[in-house]
Amino acid sequence: MSVIEKKKNRNAPQINDNIRFPKVRVIDADGTQLGILAPREAVRFAEEQELDLVLVSDKADPPVCRIMDYGKYKFEQEKRAREAKKKQHTADVKEIKMRYKIGEHDYQTNVNKAKSFLHDGDKVKVTITFRGREIQHSNLAKGLLDKMVIDLQQAAEIQQYPKQEGRNMTMLLSPKKQS
């Protein structure tokens, strides 16, 4: 058995003859308790029903085992994990770049784009770029970012306030929590 297989098996529950405890509490397939038995006796019960004995909790005293169809159980666990992964959404950071001298229509287009990103659950990084001597007008850029915050106040909250980094001024917005 390779090292990788051993690591995979470490996370897998112990079944049938791999259960190494002197006594175990056994629960039948329909949920009734059969009592405290030796593992060999419990495995025999499971085999009579053409099922497996699976260690559910080794922390209890005595450890708890359940008689079930292990293949079906494993399939259900994998199915649940796939469903959880499907529902999981990672928040990406989308960037909107503009200049402080932007036209009103272009500005509204960027605001609508930001609303769309925020609605999808993504964060939005707004960047204003300065060229040449434009950097002297950083107060106008800050005013534009403040205006954008006001226009997006229904959908966004500020995660990082506007700050200047070299020839760029950036601000990070995140979607508002639904309440």
Decide which of 57, 86, 115 is a domain's last residue: 86
pLDDT at 11: 64
Q: Same structural domain for residues 105 and 160? A: yes
Give exposure, 50-66, as e/b (b: 16+ Cβ within 10 Å): ebbbbbeebeeeebbbb
pLDDT at 2 over 70: no
The count of domains in the chain is 2
Q: Same structural domain for residues 100 and 153? A: yes
Decide which of 23, 57, 86 is a domain's last residue: 86
Q: Please compute the mean of the pLDDT values over residues 90-99 and round it to a whole number.
A: 87
pLDDT digits (tens, 9 = 90+) for 28-42: 888 888 888 888 888
Q: Same structural domain for residues 59 and 98? A: no
Q: Are 123 and 174 in contact, with CB atoms under 8 Å apart? A: yes
Segments forming the whole domain that contains residue 74: 3-86
Q: Same structural domain for residues 51 and 119? A: no
pLDDT at 24 over 90: no
Instruction: Kindly report which listed range (3-7, 43-47, 48-52) carries the lowest average pLDDT score.
Output: 3-7
Q: Same structural domain for residues 106 and 82? A: no
| Residue 91 binned pLDDT confidence (cut-offs 50, 70, 90) | confident
| Residue 128 binned pLDDT confidence (cut-offs 50, 70, 90) | very high
Q: Please compute the mean of the pLDDT values over residues 130-154 and round it to a whole number.
A: 89
In 3D space, the residue among 164, 172, 161 whose CA is nearest the CA of residue 114 turns out to be 172
| Residue 179 binned pLDDT confidence (cut-offs 50, 70, 90) | low
Which tokens hold the place of 95?
């960037």
pLDDT at 112: 94
Q: Same structural domain for residues 133 and 74? A: no
pLDDT at 10: 58
pLDDT top residue among 37 and 2 = 37
Q: Same structural domain for residues 19 and 76? A: yes
First to last CA, the chain: 51
Q: How many residues does the chain have?
A: 179
Decide which of 55, 86, 117 is a domain's last residue: 86
pLDDT at 51: 87
- Taking every pair of Cα atoms in the chain, the longest distance, rounded to a whole number of angstroms, is 86
Q: Mean pLDDT of all residues in the chain?
A: 84
pLDDT at 12 over 70: no
Q: Please classify residue 101 by burial: count the beta carbons closer than 10 Å to its beta carbon, then call 0-12 exposed, 13-18 middle and 19+ buried.
A: exposed
